[in-house]
Structure 1
Amino acid sequence: MSELEQEQLPVVAILTIDDEKDLFRGNRENFVDLLQTGKEMGFLVYIVTVKDLKLDARRIIGYRYQFEQNIWQQEWFPLPQVIYNRIPLREDEMQPPVIKKIVDLVTHPTIRLFNPFFFNKWHLFEWLKKSRTTKQFIPSTQRLTTPIHLGKMLHKHPFLFLKPESGKAGVGIMTLRVNPTKALKFRLKIQDKKKNVSYKCATITKLWTRIRKQASQHNYIVQQGILLASIDRRPFDLRVLVQKNGKGQWDITGVGARVAGSLSITTHVPRGGSIDDPEKLLTSIFGIEQSKRILIRTKNAALIIARQIERGSGQTLGEMSMDLGVDASGGIWFFEANAKPMKFDEPHIRKRSLERIFQYSTFLAKPSG
Structure 2
Amino acid sequence: MPAIYPDSRLPIHSRPSAALGVLVCEHNGNPPFAESSFIRRLNLIGAAEGLTLFAFSPWTWDAHTDSVKGWVWNERKQLWVSSKYKLPTVVYDRSWPETEKEKQRYQLALQRIRAVKRITFLNNQLPNKEKVHQLLLQERALRPILPPTMLYKGPESLVSWLRKQENSAFLKPVAGSQGRRVIAIVRSQDGMLTLSGRHSDNRPFTLNRVNEAEALQRLDGWIGKRRYIMQPLLELKGLDDEPFDLRALMQKNNKGRWTLTGIAARVGAPGTVTSNLHGGGIAASAKEALTTVVGEQRGSELLQEINKMCFLIVTRLEQSLGRFAEIGLDYGVERSGKLWFLEANSKPGRAAMGSAGKEAAHKAAEQPLSYARSILLRPPGRVIHEFDHL
TM normalised by structure 2 equals: 0.82
- Equivalent position of 2:325 in the other structure: 318
Q: Which runs of 5+ in 2 are unaligned?
A: 1-14, 385-390
Q: 2:75 aligns with which of 49, 67, 74?
A: 67
Question: Counterparts of 1:284 and 1:202 in 2: how far apart (Å)?
Answer: 38
- Equivalent position of 1:148 in the other structure: 156
Residues 94-115 of structure 1 show CA distances to partners (whole Å, capped at 9, x for unaligned) of: 4266256258559955x42123
Output the amino acid matched with 1:342: G
Task: Report deviation, 1:358.
Answer: 1.1
* CA distance 1:93–1:362, shift in 2 (3 Å): farther
- Equivalent position of 2:367 in the other structure: 356
* CA distance 1:244–1:156, shift in 2 (3 Å): same
- Equivalent position of 1:18 in the other structure: 26
Alignment of 1:101-140 (within 5 A): 101=110, 105=114, 109=118, 111-117=119-125, 119-140=127-148
Residues 165-217 of structure 1 show CA distances to partners (whole Å, capped at 9, x for unaligned) of: 222322221111223x3x243322232332322242444x3332021122233
Question: Counterparts of 1:62 and 1:198 in 2: how far apart (Å)?
Answer: 46
**More divergent stretch after superposition (148-157 vs 124-133):** 124-133
Identity fraction in percent: 23
- Equivalent position of 1:187 in the other structure: 194
Question: Counterparts of 1:327 and 1:279 in 2: how far apart (Å)?
Answer: 15
RMSD of aligned C-alpha atoms?
2.8
- Equivalent position of 1:259 in the other structure: 267
Question: Counterparts of 1:236 and 1:20 in 2: how far apart (Å)?
Answer: 36
Residues 253-294 of structure 1 show CA distances to partners (whole Å, capped at 9, x for unaligned) of: 111101221121111234442222111122233333332121
Contact persistence 2:70–2:85 (CA under 8 A) = yes
Contact persistence 2:330–2:344 (CA under 8 A) = yes
Contact persistence 2:51–2:373 (CA under 8 A) = no
* CA distance 1:220–1:28, shift in 2 (3 Å): same
Residues 279-338 of structure 1 show CA distances to partners (whole Å, capped at 9, x for unaligned) of: 1122233333332121011122122222223334x2432112222011233222111222
Output the amino acid matched with 1:82: V
Residues 1:327 and 2:321 are matched in the alignment: no
* CA distance 1:356–1:363, shift in 2 (3 Å): same
Output the amino acid matched with 1:331: K
Task: Report deviation, 1:93.
Answer: 7.3
- Equivalent position of 2:343 in the other structure: 336
Task: Report deviation, 1:84.
Answer: 0.5
* CA distance 1:140–1:106, shift in 2 (3 Å): farther
Question: Counterparts of 2:139 and 2:116 in 1: how far apart (Å)?
Answer: 28
- Equivalent position of 1:169 in the other structure: 178
Task: Report deviation, 1:43.
Answer: 0.8
Question: Counterparts of 2:34 and 2:282 in 1: how far apart (Å)?
Answer: 24
Q: Which runs of 5+ in 1 are unaligned?
A: 1-6
Question: Counterparts of 1:288 and 1:325 in 2: how far apart (Å)?
Answer: 17
Q: How many residues align?
A: 357
Local SS of the residue matching 1:209: helix
Local SS of the residue matching 2:145: coil
Contact persistence 2:284–2:352 (CA under 8 A) = no
Question: Counterparts of 2:74 and 2:278 in 1: how far apart (Å)?
Answer: 30
Q: 2:258 aligns with which of 230, 243, 250?
A: 250
